Every structure is written in structure tokens, then in C-alpha cells.
Structure 1
């Protein structure tokens, strides 16, 4: 079974636009769980422009499915936040400070020493570690060398070329996924996955452990309703 983790950053963005507490991030997270989501993902950034650090504490106290915290571990405050909350999973993402969204995976070879040390720190706290990588077999192998438990494939290139040539678009992701399985890494995927392209990815990589979806899912929920949307995404994964 491939688990669906809902990234609720966009809910926090909407809340912050008015400075109040509507919509309430915690309530939405708990509703996502109630509607069938098997995990909640947050990606706090240093400027707290969407998920605030306090949100993480509030969510950790109430979320009962898998809690996944994403972020750049070069920020000391992020490492401290993860260790204080002990999520089931931390996903290490090399996003730039002012990036609108994540746009590349780790060079796990160049950053081997840094990643190895960080992964050891999180492992000492009993936290599973996933490393965000491009669909590159060498980067997958590098993540294994660093001690990661999983990799999360950065799927924006797949989504971008899906309608042009979906067979060609998915091929490097299948190869990277096969490499992950070969070296004994768990496998996640995320970024720009949607109701349009999710089923085809799962059909080609049936051993996916987890997908993390935020922007498309929350956008769909504006038209289709949150409960219905989550059920629709879950059905796309049941192939």
C-alpha cells in the first residue's frame, strides 16, 4: 500500500494572509486524517511564511497518523524543531532560503559528510530519515551511503512532461526507484503530483511507500471538497 501524506502548507498560507486563525491548521490536519489521509506533512521555513514553528508543536500533540517534517537541515533551528517533536519521519530538503518551493534534490555525493552526520543525529532520536533527491541513480546510491532510510523522488520533472510524453517522463523515475529497491531504501515521491498523473506513477512504481501531496490536493479541494478530494487521491493509489 502506498500511503497518502497531505502537505498542509497551503492551508497555513491562507491563514497567514489575514493574520488570524482561519482556516485553523490543526483542525484541517485532523480532518484530513478523519477523511482517510495516512499522514500529515509540514515544511516549515525560517521566515514562517506558511507553517509556523508553533504549528509543528501543536500538530505533534494531536496528529495520530504519520507526521512528516520537511526542511533544510542547514538551519540549526530546524534540526532543533525536529528533535523536540520527534516525528515519525524527517525529510531533508536542500531548499534555498527564499525559494518559493523546493526545486531540486540533494547532491548526496558532494554533501555526503554533512548528510551522514545529520542522519546519525536524527537516528539517535529514533526518527526515520528520508532524503529528497532527483531521479538520478547515483544520488539514490549516495543517500544509501549517507545512512538514509528512504529517498523521496522530486517529481516535478515527471509532472512537467507528463502530458507531452508520459512514458518518457516516468522512465528516469522508474530507474531511480529500482535503484532504491536494489540498495534497500524505502521510497517516497512528491512535488506536483496530482489527480492527472498520480495513477500512472503508481502503476509504474507499485512499490512506492508514500506520496506527499499538497498544492494540487488543496487546490482540488476548493472545487471538490476536502473529504471527497482525499478519497479521490486514495483511489488513484489503489492500482
Structure 2
């Protein structure tokens, strides 16, 4: 059976890159059979969702600290804006930590910018949302960010992420390199990312394992993603994904739950 879910990463316009880390479209067109996996994700998103009845929601979707397995719903299309680290409070009016594990209508958040953003995009064709925001969003946010604090946070995120040529650094080393205490680094991450530096690094490593699982043996993959050994990788993977790596990649997944359609479920 063909995959009923189409996902596509779009080019982020240059004007949006200080605030938007990525843009993705997701469309489910047929009643699918397989479960939909929400991977752990240390990213806050703004989502324009169009349901099968044409109803539109503009939602803030917070970071997910563990994977979820859900039954898919048909005839839903979404545009997801992945917010860059440090963007949640100026755009949405709340720190990223307040949104962890939550799906909230944008116009229920306290930020005036969030309310205006909801009005700006709600009735757009999903394909028009990104170019429209490339014109509207810089004006909304240019005066609302703290460049020095944001730059510090993003340097920490980069240092704790897996790269092709290096494993992530340790939290204590990142704090020392950025000339802040570990407590200050935790506060930066809690507000601007939503999770602690340690949990961010765990999520990033597990997602990298998923992306690279077909390219290297388990032991080599564990070493290049910053684990002490393969056993450490398996433990982390099971904690965040609910099953060990071999079970996940052979389709032996936890039972799926009904998909909750955010505030309209």
C-alpha cells in the first residue's frame, strides 16, 4: 500500500531564518494502516492545520520529551514552522518550557504577537503561509529579541548537537566555553528550548541514531553520536522511544493511541 502521508521540507526564506529553523508540510490523504510516530523533539512549532471538514487551527506545539505512537487520521494537511532556539517567548509570549508536551491554540497564548500571527495565517492557503510570513514576521519580531542572549543559547545548542565531524560536547564543557555557570546554561535552555541542556543532548543523539541507523554498525554509531558504548545508546534509546533500537527498526512498536486533534479532539 502506498504511503498515505506526504512530508516535504521547504526552503526557509532568508528573511525568516533568524526566527524560523525550518519549514515542513505534512499531508495525510488516505486512511493509513501503520502507526504515526511522533519522535522526541526539542523544538517548538507553530502549525497551521486544515482538517477534513476545512476547519483551520493555528497551534503552538511544544517540545516532546519522549516518543508517542498514534493512529493516523486521514485528510489533514499542515504547515509546520519550527521555531529557532530563543524564539518562543518573543513570538508566543511564554517560555518554551511552558509548552512542553502541549498543543495550544495560538490565540489563547498571552503574546500579542502570537494573536496577530494567528490572524495573519489562519485563512491563507497553506502554500501561501510561508511567503506571507517572510514579509510580516520580521517586522513583528525585530524589536522583541535579545541578540546577545539568543546568540549564547544557539551556541550552546550547536555545541550539544551531533555533527558529521564531531560528537556533542559535555554540558560542563559547553558552560565553561561560553563563560556561564551550568545553572545559567540550564536557565537559558529551559526558557529558550524548553528542556535542560542534558535532555536536549539526549534527544538530539537519539534522533541522530534514527537518521543514521542504516549507515553504520551499532557500536560505531554509538561512538560517533557521543555515547560511552552501545549499551548506553540502547538505554537512552529505550527511555526516549519506549523500545530498544532493534525493536524500533523491525517494527515492534508500542501500541498506538488514538490521535488527538489538539484542542478539537
Asked if these proteins are the same fold (TM beyond 0.5), I'd say no
The TM-score normalised by the length of structure 1 is: 0.34
The structure that has the greater radius of gyration is: 2
